[in-house]
Amino acid sequence: MKPLITLEGVNKYYGDYHALRDIDLTIGEGEFFSLLGPSGCGKTTLLRTIAGFETVSDGLVAIGGKDMAGVPANLRPTNMVFQSYAIFPHLSVAENVAFGLRKRPDIDKRTAVTEALSMVGLAGYEKRAAHALSGGQRQRVALARALILKPKVLLLDEPLSALDKKMREQMQVELIKLQRHVGITFILVTHDQEEALVMSDRIAVMFEGRIGQLADAETLYRRPRNRQVAEFIGKMNFLEADVQPAAEGYDLRVAGLGAVSVAAAQAPEPVHGSAGVVGLRPETLNLLFDGETTKQMLVDGQVDEVVYYGDMTYYDVRIQGVEKPLNIAMKNVIGRPVLDVGAPTRVVWDPRALVLFDRNG
Amino acid sequence: MTSTEGGRGLLMVSPPLIYALALLAVPLGAILLFSFWTQDFMAVDTTFTLNNYREIAEKPIYWALLKRSLFVAGCVTVVTVILAFPVAYFVSFHVRADRKSLWLFLITIPFWTSYLIRVFLWKVILGYNGVVNTGLINIGLIEEPLTFILYNVNAVIITLAHAFAPFAILPIFVALEKIDRSLLEAAQDLGESRAMTFFRVTLPLAMPGVVAAVLIVFIPTIGDYVTPELMGGAGGKLIANMIQTQFLALNNAPLGAALAIVAMVSVSAISLAFVLLNRRWLKGRS
C-alpha cells in the first residue's frame, strides 16, 4: 500500500478544548478508510483538518508527500461530500456538477458532466433544478460534483446519515462499487459501526480525540483492543475473570462459566495482573434446544427476555454467578422454537470465542 | 353566517379590511377620479376629461420633475444598497451569533429620533457654516465652504440614503442569514477563492434580499416630500413637491391628482420591470 495521506502528532485545540490528541495516521492510495466514533469524538474535525477547513494546532498533515500547512481548502487535492450535501440551490444539477470546472479549461464541461452524472446514476438530470431533488439524488449530485474534479482523496462527512434505511443500504453498496471503479482514496466519517464495517478496508475508531484502534473490520470486531472499542462495535457480553499467565496463554476462572484456558492471541493487549474481563459476542453463544447435543461447554440458565426479529431471536439469559444476563443471538431455523420468558435453558459456549481484556484497561 | 369557517375568517379579517378599504382604496379611487376632472377657478368641473394628463405630457416642467425624481430615487437606492450590503454582511458573517440582535438593535438607534429632526440635523451637518464645511476649512483642506452639498439634489440624495439605510440592511441581512454556511465551504472545496465564492455563491443567494431592499428604498423615495422640501432648495424639488403645490398653493387638486397618478404608474412600472428582470435570481427559492 502506497501511503497517500500522512498525519503525524496532530493536535487540535479549540480554546481549552482538546479536540484531536496526538493523531498518527497513514492512509494509503486507493484505500477505503473510515473514521468511526460517537459524536464529539473528533472524527469530523479530523476530516476537516485533511480538507483544509481546520488548521492543526500542532503536528503534520501531508497529502501525496506534500506538507499541507498553510495550503487552503481550495488548493488541496481533496474534495468533500458534505453532510448536508451543500448543493447550490441557485444552480441546476449540471451547473452544480460543473461548479469546480471553472479553472479547468482543458476539460470539456458538457462531456465531463454527462459522464459524472451517469457514473452516479443520474444520467439525464442535467437541467433539473437543485431544489427539485430528493435526498438520495442530492447526495449523488454531491458525489458527482466532487468526483468530476478527479481528486486524490474524496472526503465523505456522514454522507448516509440523512437517508432512510433502505436507501442507506443501497448507497453503501453503490459507494463501494464507485470507489473500486474510480480507484481513488475515500475517507468516510460515520458514527454507524455497521456502515464502517460494511464499507471500509480499514477503520480508525476514535474516542475523545484519540484513535482507540486502527484495524480492518474483522480484527476490530473479533479482536477489539479494549472494552471501549468492543462496546462501540456491535454488542458484547462482559464477564469478570481471574487471570493466571500460563505457558501458551492464560488460565482463567470466568464468573458464571468456570475455569478455562485461552491462547495468548485471544488477549489483543497483554494482560498484567490477575484482574481480567472476558468478552463474548452474542452470536458466539448458543442455546441448546431439546433433542440437540453438543461437545462444547454448557452452562445452565433461565430466559429473562425475548426479542423476536424475524430472522433472528435475541435472548437475555441469566446464568448463576453473573449479575447481568447474557445476550444471545439465535438464528431462527426450521424446527427451532422461540422460548418463553422464564423458561429454563442451557447455554453453549466455546472458549475459542473469548476475548480477554485487562479489567483496568 | 359566522358558523362557517369562511364566515369566521371574513369576520376576523374585516377590521383590517375595512381599514384598508376606507384609508387606502377609497382615497386612491378618489385621486383617480379627481385626475379626470378639472379645476374651474373655485369649483371643480366634474365632466370627464384627459386634459390634466395632456397638460402633464405637454409641459416640460412635469416631465423634468418626474425624471429628476426617478434619478434621485435611483441614486438613493444604489447608494443605500451598496452601503447597506457590507453592514449586513459584517453582522451576518463576522458577528458572534449571540451578539447579532444587539448589533441590529444598535443599527436602529439613530432612527429612534423623528425623521424631520434627522433631516434638520443633515442641514446642520451639510450647511454653509455646517459641520462638514467648518471641519474641512479648519483642517485646511478647503478655503471656501463647499456649496454643492446643500440645497440641491446631492443633499437630497445624502439625506434619503441615510434615512433608508436600515430598511436596506435588514432584508439583506435576513437573506445572508439564510445562506447555509456549508455552501461557502463547498465552493472553496471545489477550488474557488474567498472572493470568487462571494461572487458565485454568496451574492446570488443574497439577491432576494437585495431585490427587497431595492424595492423598499426605491418606492417610497420617489414620492418623498419632506427631504426635498427642506434640503433640495430650488433645484432639488421633486414630483411630490409639485403635487403639494398643485393641491395647496395653486388650488388645482385635479392636476395634482393626475400628477400623483402619473408618479404612481411610473413607480409601479419600474418596480415591476425590476422584479421581472430578477426572476432568474428569485425563482425556486423559498
Segments of chain B with pLDDT less than 70 = 1-3, 280-286
Q: Does A131 touch chain B (CB under 8 A)?
A: yes
Taking CB atoms and an 8 Å cutoff, what residues of chain B touch A149? 190-191
**Chain A / chain B CB contacts < 8 angstroms:** 65
DSSP letter for each residue of chain B: -TTSHHHHHHHHHHHHHHHHIIIIIHHHHHHHHHTTSEEETTEEE-S---HHHHHHHH-HHHHHHHHHHHHHHHHHHHHHHHHHHHHHHHHHHHS-GGGHHHHHHHHHGGGGS-HHHHHHHHHHHHSTTSHHHHHHHHTTS-SS---TTSSSHHHHHHHHHHHTHHHHHHHHHHHHHTS-HHHHHHHHHTT--HHHHIIIIIHHHHHHHHHHHHHHHHHHHHT--HHHHHHSTTTT--HHHHHHIIIIIS--HHHHHHHHHHHHHHHHHHHHHHHHHTHHHHTT--
> CA A251 → CA A113, A279, A348, distances in Å?
63, 15, 20
Provide long-range contacts, Cβ within 8 A and 24+ apart, for A241-246.
A241/A276, A241/A277, A241/A278, A241/A356, A242/A274, A242/A275, A242/A276, A243/A271, A243/A273, A243/A274, A243/A275, A243/A276, A243/A356, A244/A274
CB atoms inside a 10 Å sphere around CB A255: 17
Mean of pLDDT values over A307-324? 93
Does the beta-carbon distance from A131 to B201 stay under 8 Å? Answer: no
Distance from C-alpha of B198 to C-alpha of B184, rounded to nearest angstrom = 8
Q: For residue A132, what is the nearest residue in chain B, using CA coordinates?
A: B284
- pLDDT tens, residue by residue, A101-112: 998 888 899 999
Identify which of A53, A78, A131 has the shortest CB distance to residue B185.
A53
- CA neighbours closer than 13 Å in the CB half-sphere of residue A119: 24
d(CA A7, CA A9) in angstroms, rounded, equals 7
CB B183 within 8 A of CB B93: no
pLDDT of res. B111: 83
pLDDT the model gives residue B149: 85
Task: Give mean pLDDT, residues A298-318.
Answer: 94
What is the per-residue pLDDT across A120-159, written as a single tens digit (0 to 9) for each?
999 999 999 998 899 899 999 999 999 999 999 999 999 9
Q: State the pLDDT at residue B280.
A: 63
Chain B interface, Cβ < 8 Å to A: 180, 182-183, 185-193, 196, 200-201, 204-205, 281, 284-285
Q: Which residue of A has its CA nearest to B182?
A: A86
- The nearest CA of chain A is from the CA of B274 a distance in Å of 19
Q: Return the pLDDT at B128.
A: 86
| Residues of chain B contacting A132 with CB distance shorter than 8 Å | 284
What is the model's pLDDT at position B285? 46
Put simply, whether A138 touches B (Cβ < 8 Å) is: no
Strand bridging mode A185-190 / A153-157: parallel
Provide the terminal-to-terminal Cα distance of chain A, rounded to the nearest Å: 32
The closest alpha carbon to B270, from B196, B217, B209, B231, belongs to: B217
Q: A132 vs chain B: nearest CA distance in angstroms?
A: 9
Q: Touching check for A78 and chain B: CB below 8 Å? A: yes
A293 lies within 8 A of chain B by CB: no
Three-state DSSP class for residue A32:
strand
Around Cβ B241, how many Cβ atoms within 10 Å?
Answer: 18
CB B133 within 8 A of CB B146: yes
Of A84, A130, A145, the CB nearest to B190: A145
Q: What is the C-alpha separation between A328 and A307, in angstroms, rounded? A: 10
The C-alpha of A102 sits at a distance from chain B's nearest C-alpha, in angstroms, of: 9
- Nearest neighbour of A88 by CB, restricted to B183, B189, B196: B183
Q: Is A148 on the interface with B (CB under 8 A)?
A: no
Q: What domains lie within chain A, and their CATH numbers?
A: 3-227 (3.40.50.300), 235-358 (2.40.50.140)
Integer Cα distance of A252 and A267 in angstroms: 12
SS3 A14: strand
Structural contact between residues A254 and A239, judged by C-beta atoms closer than 8 angstroms: yes
What integer pLDDT is reported at residue B284 of this predicted model? Answer: 43
pLDDT for the residue A292: 85
pLDDT confidence of residue A225: 93
> What is the rounded distance in angstroms from the CA atom of residue A49 to the CA atom of residue A73?
9
Q: Which residues from A are below 8 Å from B205, CB to CB?
A: 89-90
What is the rounded distance in angstroms from the CA atom of residue A35 to the CA atom of residue A50?
A: 12
Nearest CA in chain B to A78: B189
Residues from chain B contacting residue A86 (CB–CB below 8 Å): 180, 182-183, 185-186
Q: Which CATH superfamily is domain B59-282 in?
A: MetI-like (1.10.3720.10)
Name the residue facing A82 among B182, B196, B205 (closest C-beta).
B182
Residues of A numbered 89-108 whose beta carbons fall under 8 angstroms of chain B's beta carbons: which are they? 89-90, 99-100, 102-103
A294 pLDDT band (50/70/90 cuts)?
A: confident
Q: Which residues of A touch B208 (CB under 8 A)?
A: none
Does the reported pTM lie above 0.90? Answer: no
Judge: A89–B186 Cβ closer than 8 Å, yes or no: no
Assembly ipTM: 0.85
Q: Angle CA(A347)–CA(A349)–CA(A352) in degrees, nearest 5?
A: 175
A45 pLDDT exceeds 60? yes
Per CB-CB distance under 8 Å, the chain B contacts of A138 are: none
